Amino acid sequence: ALPYDHLSKLDQQRTGQGGYLTIELDSFLVDRILKYAQQCNVTLFQLALTCYYVFLFKLTNGEKDLCIGSVSSNRYRPELQELIGMFVNLLPYRFT
């Protein structure tokens, strides 16, 4: 479990509403990231997943057994692209 940054009070009401944060990267940085991924012969997803793992490693004070969940659209054939329906698979990535 990840450490809490604060404890919620008993009298606080949870709304259940989520939010989002938009982070814009300038084109120079994006180009450098893409070139680095290409030099390392990895996809952008693999590079981002690795960075996220390193972040969690630091956040958890060196926890080496981490599991990260990611979704896969599972629409690997062209004829599936236009179909309506839930094709999503949740994939666990375990790092030890």
- Which residue range forms the structural domain that includes residue 71? 27-95
Q: What total of structural domains would you count in the chain?
A: 1
Cβ atoms within 10 Å, residue 27: 7
The two three-digit tokens of residue 40, written as one number = 């390392």
Spatial distance between the Cα atoms of 40 and 46, rounded to a whole number of angstroms: 10
Is 39 part of any domain? yes
Is 12 part of any domain? no
Ramachandran class of 83: left when φ > 0, alpha when ψ lies in -120 to 50, beta otherwise = beta
Is 1 part of any domain? no
Spatial distance between the Cα atoms of 74 and 90, rounded to a whole number of angstroms: 10
The tens place of each residue's pLDDT in the chain, 96 residues long, gives 666 666 666 666 767 777 888 999 999 999 999 999 999 999 999 999 999 999 999 988 888 899 999 888 777 788 887 888 877 888 999 988
Is 75 part of any domain? yes
Spatial distance between the Cα atoms of 34 and 43, rounded to a whole number of angstroms: 9
Is 42 part of any domain? yes
Is 10 part of any domain? no
